Amino acid sequence: MGRDTIIPALIAALVLVAIAAGLTITGGPISARAERRDLARLDDLRTLKTLITCQHQVNGALPDTLFVDTNCAYSPLGTDPLTNAPYGYEKLSDTSYRLCASFERPDLIRDHDLGPGTWQPDSGCFILTQP
């Protein structure tokens, strides 16, 4: 009789502890929603990167600011899904630039999320180089 109740109680306790610990790592539904918004931000930054690469090829230089270039015929510049603020762009040199967004879970972003580049968790920017 003892084993009939002790083993299920142990299993229940272990499962509860594991689920609680798992939730602290993954975050609940709200931070998962933030993660989704980060994925949308990454998508927007990828689109901007394609636009900048095209402008570099057409004009032979990186643009000074972001604008919708009819030569490259891309959709309008995206904005942040939460705040609607425009994304940050800064020309660093003739071949390198920064793309920035206010990521909500910067711990999950990796260097290669925008292709070859360097991720700076403190500023929320990727440093990208035009070959």
Partner 1 sequence: MRPSDQLAAFTRDALSGGQSRGDIRAALARSGWAPNEIDEALDAWADIDFPTPVPRPRPYVSAREAFFYGLMFAALAMTAWHLVALLHNLIDHWVADPLNDDAGRYAINSTRWSIAALVVFAPTFLVMNHRAVQATNSDPGKRRSGVRKWFGYVTLFLASISLLGDLMAMIYALLSGDLTVRFMLKALVVAGVAGTVFAYFRQDTEEAQDGT
CA angle 105, 79, 48 (to 5 degrees): 90
Is 57 an interacting residue with respect to partner 1 (CB under 8 A)?
Answer: no
CA-CA distances (angstroms) from residue 85 to 15, 50, 76?
Answer: 42, 20, 14
| Least gap, CB of 66 to partner 1 (angstroms) | 27
The Cα–Cα gap between 66 and 91 comes to 10
Q: Say which residues have a Cβ less than 8 Å from residue 58's Cβ, sequence separation at least 6.
A: 69, 71, 72
Among 3, 60, 83, 116, the residue binding partner 1 under the rule CB under 8 A is 3
CB of 45 to partner 1, least distance (A): 16
Taking CB under 8 A as the criterion, the residue among 21, 58, 68, 85 binding partner 1 is: 21
Binding test (CB under 8 A) with partner 1, winner from 72, 87, 92, 108:
108
Report if residue 13 touches partner 1, rule: CB under 8 A: no
